[in-house]
Amino acid sequence: MLTIYGVYRSRASRNFWLLAELGMEFEHVPVIQGYRLPDPEAEDAPFNTLSPGFLSVSPAGAVPVLKDGDFVLSESLAMNLYLARKAGGPLAPSDARENALMEQWALYGATSVESHALAIMYAHAEGRAKTPEGEAEIAAETARLRRPLGVLNSHLREHGHMVGGRFTVADINMAEILRYAQSEPGLIPAYPAIAAWLATCHARPAFKEMWERRLAEPA
C-alpha cells in the first residue's frame, strides 16, 4: 500500500488532494515539521522531520515523502505526477506530450511562482504585511510575479486548464502553488482567467475534503 509521510498543513496538501480525487487508498503517517516544535529532539516530541525514524526514510528531513513498496519518492510535485501516472485515467497524461507538458508546468510553478507566492503568504501569516518593511516586500514579490502570472492567465484564458483542456494533476499542482498568492487581496483577481480557474478548482469536492482535514489540524 502507498504511504504518505507528512501533515495536511504542508506541501503534502497537494498530494492528499490528488489522492482524494483518485479515490486511492493509502496509509498516512503524520510527520510534523521540526521547525514548528519548541524542541523537536525532545524525548516527548511528536514524530517530526528531525526524528531518526523519519530521517531513515528521508535523509533530507522534509515532508512530504511517498513510499510505494520499496520505492521512496520526495518532492510533492514529483509525487503527484508519479501518483497520477500510476493510477491512469483522465487526471494522468494521455501520451508523452501531455506528460512533458505536465512536467513543464510543474517546473515552471516551482521555479517562477512558488517562492514569490510563499514570501507573500509568510508576510501575511507573520503579521508583517501592514508594516513598511512588509509592504515593500509584498510589492517586490508581486512585481516578480507579474510576468509568470501573465503567462498563466493567457494560457488559461485560451485553454481553460493547464494541460489537455481538462482537469488533471497539472491543475492540482499549479493551483496549490497559486493558493499561496491568495493571501494578498486583489493579487489573483487582477488576473481574471486565473481567478475563475482557481475558483473552479477549489469548488471540487476532493479539494474541500482535503481543506477540511487541513483546517482540523493544529496550526
Helices H / strands E in the chain, number of each? 9, 4
Contact 64, 3 (CB under 8 A): no
pLDDT tens for 132-158 read 999 999 999 999 999 999 999 999 999
pLDDT tens for 46-94 read 999 999 999 999 999 999 999 999 999 999 999 999 999 999 999 999 9
Question: Apex CA 89: angle with CA 58 and CA 207, to 5°?
Answer: 65
Assess whether pLDDT exceeds 90 at residue 219: no
End-to-end CA distance of the chain: 29
What is the reported pTM?
Answer: 0.96
C-alpha to C-alpha distance for 50 and 53, rounded to whole angstroms: 8
pLDDT tens for 189-202 read 999 999 999 999 99
Contact 93, 115 (CB under 8 A): no
* Domains of the chain, each with CATH number or no CATH: 2-90 (3.40.30.10), 96-207 (1.20.1050.10)
pLDDT mean across residues, the chain: 97
What residues contact residue 97 under an 8 Å CB cut-off, 6+ apart?
none
Instruction: Give the helix/strand (H/E) hosting 198.
Output: helix 192-202
C-alpha to C-alpha distance for 180 and 138, rounded to whole angstroms: 12
**What pLDDT sits at residue 17?**
98
